[in-house]
Amino acid sequence: MSTLDSTVCTRRSARVAAQQPGQHLSRVDNDADDVAKSSAKQQKRTGKHSKGRTVTPTAEAAAAPETALLQPIGTSNASSSSSTHTAVPAVQLPPSSKARKGSSSSAKAAAGPSRAAEQAMWAKGYKAVAGVDEAGRGPLAGPVVAAAAVLPADIQLAGLNDSKQMSEGAREELYEQLTSHPDVAWAVAVVDRETIDEVNILQAAMLAMTRAVQGLARAPDAVLVDGNRRPACLEHLPMQALVKGDASSTCIAAASVIAKVTRDRLMLELDAQYPQYGFAQHKGYGVPAHKAAIQRHGPCPEHRRSFEPVKTMTGWAGYGQAAKAAAAAAAAAEQQVAAGAAAAEAEVVSVAAEEQQPLQEAAADAGDAAAAAAQDQGQAKEQKGSRKGRTQQQRKRRSSPGEAEAAAASAAGGAGRRRRRA
């Protein structure tokens, strides 16, 4: 904070000072002697607490009448006497912490990004350091885009800064310079609206960053990420998250330009498809004209259902709906596959049974034939045995003729004796 040329202590004083540039303002009491006395008393009261800080006499002047006005030095107060008035001297105040912080940030922004973060990584032995940034976390429509860029150590990029601080023409020029440079390694990843509404915008941005790094032709040795979060899927790499890294780190700023230009071009394509929303002008951000177009025409397929006012208008059911639907579809598919497998198995069993039926019939026929053959064999054996017995008897008769004749003779003699007796 620069030296104060006047002791402005109220918002009204600040407004007056702003309206009168080039003039030094001070609060003037009607009596300069009273001001001096009050100043001396105040310095005595606060001296031991100030520790060297210069105390402005304006605090004492606050005790003056409320009609005291801010006047340029050397002018007179109309309500005071015609005597000469002594202006309160300007006092230098130390800057507040907020002012120091603001001036420091402004100085850094004016200086532009540097390669300090990359150099720190190089000093640790990491040669290929990728800067990563995303574009499109805040819009109501369209994808989120991330880019990764690895820059050579000797590259000169005049005008490079946080892409949001650059004009569209400057971004386009640097984009062409970066993407056409033979020694610049870069990759872009686009995560669509459906995924954003499925996993939320933060996770979608992390996913885009991860895919951008994975899309590099050669895996980097280390990664510098814009923001305060690091993609979980890149934790295997040495990685550092830099808040406002797109304004402080050259490689992150380069990635932010590539991501921003890529997304802007995608939104121009969407504008050609849905001209009623004006995507070419606002790139999907929630400006009043865009919200009015949504109310008038309703959301298009590229509007994010998880963002208001589209969320209320569409009755968005919450994150994870696609996953739930996919899980249900997968379960139904598994059931269908299981049912199909069971039906196929039953058909196989049926076909096998049909194929076995002729075999079973043939086996039954074979059994019947075997039984019939066995029966025939039994009957044949019986017949053979009967014939054998008759043959033996016949042979026996033929082999004993004398016995037959004797039997016949005996029978004849017996008959003769019976006749004689008679």
Per-domain residue ranges for the chain?
11-97, 112-313
**DSSP alpha helix (H) spans, 20-76:** 32-50, 58-61
264 is in an annotated binding site: no
pLDDT tens, position by position, 158-190: 999 989 899 999 999 999 999 999 999 999 999
CA atoms within 13 A on the CB side of 241: 11
CA neighbor of 284 nearest in space, from 205, 301, 187, 188: 301
Across 36-193, where does the E strand assignment appear? 70-72, 129-135, 144-150, 185-191
Question: Residue for token digits 């590099």?
Answer: 216
Is pTM beyond 0.85? Reply is: no
pLDDT tens, position by position, 369-384: 888 888 877 777 777 7
pLDDT tens, position by position, 59-68: 333 333 333 3
Backbone φ and ψ for 302, nearest 5 degrees, come out as -90, 0
Question: Residue for token digits 């390669």?
Answer: 115
Can you give the pLDDT at residue 334?
85
Backbone φ and ψ for 71, nearest 5 degrees, come out as -135, 150
Question: pLDDT: is 203 or 63 the higher one?
Answer: 203
Q: Residue 216 class from Cβ within 10 Å (0-12 exposed, 13-18 middle, 19+ buried)? A: middle
Three-state secondary structure call for residue 411: helix
Per-residue pLDDT averaged across 384-388, rounded?
71
Does the pLDDT value for residue 103 go beyond 90?
Answer: no
31 is in an annotated binding site: no
Per-residue pLDDT averaged across 35-47, rounded?
52
- CATH tag for 112-313 (out of 3.30.420.10, 3.90.480.20, 3.30.1370.10, 3.90.1150.10): 3.30.420.10
pLDDT tens, position by position, 224-242: 999 999 999 999 999 999 9
The fraction of the chain above a pLDDT of 70, given in percent, is 66
Cα–Cα dist 388/385, whole Å = 5
**For residue 320, which amino acid is it?**
G
Does the pLDDT value for residue 1 go beyond 50?
Answer: no
Beta-bridge mates of residue 145 = 135, 190
Can you give the pLDDT at residue 4?
31
Q: Residue 170 class from Cβ within 10 Å (0-12 exposed, 13-18 middle, 19+ buried)? A: middle
Going by C-beta distance under 8 Å and a sequence separation of 6 or more, which residues neighbour residue 187?
Answer: 147, 148, 212, 213, 214, 215, 216, 217
Question: Residue for token digits 């031991």?
Answer: 48
CA neighbor of 36 nearest in space, from 88, 91, 90, 92: 88
Beta-bridge mates of residue 226 = 242
